[in-house]
A = this chain, B = another copy of it.
Amino acid sequence: MPDLSNLRALVFDVFGTVVDWRTSVAREVETLARKRGLAVDALAVADAWRGLYAPSLATVRDGGRPFVDLDVLHRESLDALAGPHGLDSLGDEDRVDLVSAWHRLDPWPDVVEGLTRLKRRFILGPLSNGHLALQVGIAKRVGLPWDAILSTDLFRTYKPDPAAYLGACQLLALEPSRVLLVAAHNNDLAAARALGLRTGFVARNEHGPGQAKDLAAESDWDVIAADFIDLATKLGA
């Protein structure tokens, strides 16, 4: 492992890395569908919803669209998938409620214990495309012990825009080399490394049995850990 003695802050990707969005969203879809007497494949809805995520971010990040937060993008994606997935009869109130399911995602089982240990030694914050209000919602519900929320809405863009990573370092008043991004996504880590941040990979099975990518580290990231508890151990926390 490279010398990380100068490390001061850990920033975390959230969807997939910290929280299990797929099971959490599917659970809320299932509950609502049952209440409305709709037959849906809830996991397929979650997968389709997440499938529209990257292209929706790109409309803002690369498409010159004025910044809108992830609730807006999630709502547009839900409206697009509702028809094909048997949710077309859902009214506005139900759709607003489903969009807010992304504020109520459960962490992976190792997360709270791992973060609690890491917090003793490092500044911790989410560096997520989910906006500040969404991050506060997730964290407060399950007790994620963040020191600061460093969501990309603060910079009115989305990862992997360099402005997001560098903006987080600037707010923390730390050189990028003193900040480590923890992510379950190799492309997120590659973007961070290119800007001088440190990198930590944790493999997550966020997509279920069909997951085809990010099953393992694809580069010599500064730390590669089995989960957040292992990460804490490897970082001496």
- A residues at B contact (CB < 8 Å): 69, 71, 123, 131-133, 135-136, 139-140, 146-149, 153-154, 171-174
B139 touches A173 (CB 8 A): no
In the A-B complex, the 9 residue pairs with the closest CB atoms: A133-B173, A148-B149, A132-B171, A136-B147, A136-B148, A133-B172, A123-B136, A154-B154, A140-B147
Q: How distant is the Cα of A146 from the Cα of B123 in the complex, in angstroms? A: 13
Closest Cβ–Cβ distance, residue A17 to chain B (whole Å) = 19
6 contacts between A and B (CB under 8 A): A71-B173, A133-B174, A140-B147, A146-B148, A149-B149, A154-B154
How far does the Cβ of A110 sit from chain B's closest Cβ, in whole Å?
22
Chain B residues near A131 (CB, 8 Å)? 171, 173
Q: How distant is A84 from chain B, measured CB to nearest CB, in Å? A: 29
Apart from A123-B136, A131-B171, A135-B148, what 12 extra A-B contacts exist at CB < 8 Å? A123-B140, A131-B173, A132-B171, A132-B172, A133-B171, A133-B174, A140-B147, A148-B148, A149-B149, A153-B171, A154-B154, A154-B171
